[in-house]
Amino acid sequence: MRLVNLAIVVVVVLMVAVAVLLVAPLISQSPPQPPQVVNPGGLPIPPWAMRFGNGSAPVVLVEFFDLLCPYCAYAHVELGPLIKEKVQEGKLYYILVDFPVHGDAAWALHQPLHCAYNELGPSATLDLVNKLYYVWYLAAIKRAISESDALANMSKTLQPYACRFNVTLAQAMGVSDAFGKVGIKIRGTPTFIIYKNGTLTVVEGAYVDKIRQLLSG
């Protein structure tokens, strides 16, 4: 009888030892890493904003954009390669916030762009944004093609992407009210907000040299 009891004790001890060996590595693991930056500098960035790159990058660039804004198109042609390079290097966290000042015509493009973002992912979507803006640049800035042809081209490019994107035009435009409450007035597009070394810098308009300096310096 005592031998049976001893065997039971031995089995229990072995089970406890095995449990300790299995649990110990889990206890010694480092805590989970914090999520990517969502609201750098306390900015009221909407949850549907498109984000590109490393959330802990040393520089954050927030851009209020409209796909039918000619100055946005100019800025993207000038700055697109630099932004992509910095994002790929992990040095820039880039956030695109919809601000379709051109109303329904622009919003009809922004909606499928978000669907493309969900389907393609950030990297391919960044290339897509630059592609769309180059078409609009040819029309609105260079006058190489008509705006109607450019709009048709952009619409066709986005046609394959469809999803339920429940944000309304009014909600998108209403984001400016939230930024106004933190002292940042969004009057039009493009508006750039750079968060670097704990400092926020707001640049209204396509002042590409200034943006380039802030991103590179």
**Is residue 116 domain-resident?**
yes
pLDDT tens digits along 49-98 = 999 999 999 999 999 999 999 999 999 999 999 999 999 999 999 999 99
Q: Is residue 3 part of a domain?
A: no
Is the residue at 25 inside a domain? no
Query: What's the rounded Cα separation, in Å, for the pair 164 and 159?
Result: 14
In the predicted model, is pLDDT for residue 33 greater than 90? no
What pLDDT shows up at residue 191? 98
Strands 191-196 and 50-53: unpaired
Integer angstrom CA distances of residue 173 from 98, 99, 100, 187: 8, 6, 7, 11
The answer to whether 162 touches 88, Cβ cutoff 8 Å, is no
Is residue 201 in some structural domain? Answer: yes
Strands (E), 139-180: none
Residue 9 lies in a domain: no
Q: Which domain holds residue 79?
A: 44-215
Q: What is the pLDDT of residue 26?
A: 34
**Mean pLDDT of the chain, nearest integer:** 86
Q: How many domains does the chain have?
A: 1
Confidence of residue 177 (pLDDT cuts 50, 70, 90): very high
Q: What CATH number does the domain containing 145 carry?
A: 3.40.30.10
122-140 and 147-158 helices cross at what angle (nearest 10)?
170
What is the average per-residue pLDDT within 109-134?
Answer: 98
pTM of the predicted protein model: 0.81
| Position 77 in a domain | yes
Q: Report yes or no on 38 lying in a domain.
A: no
Q: Is residue 14 part of a domain?
A: no
Report helix, strand or coil for 165.
coil
156 SS3 class: helix
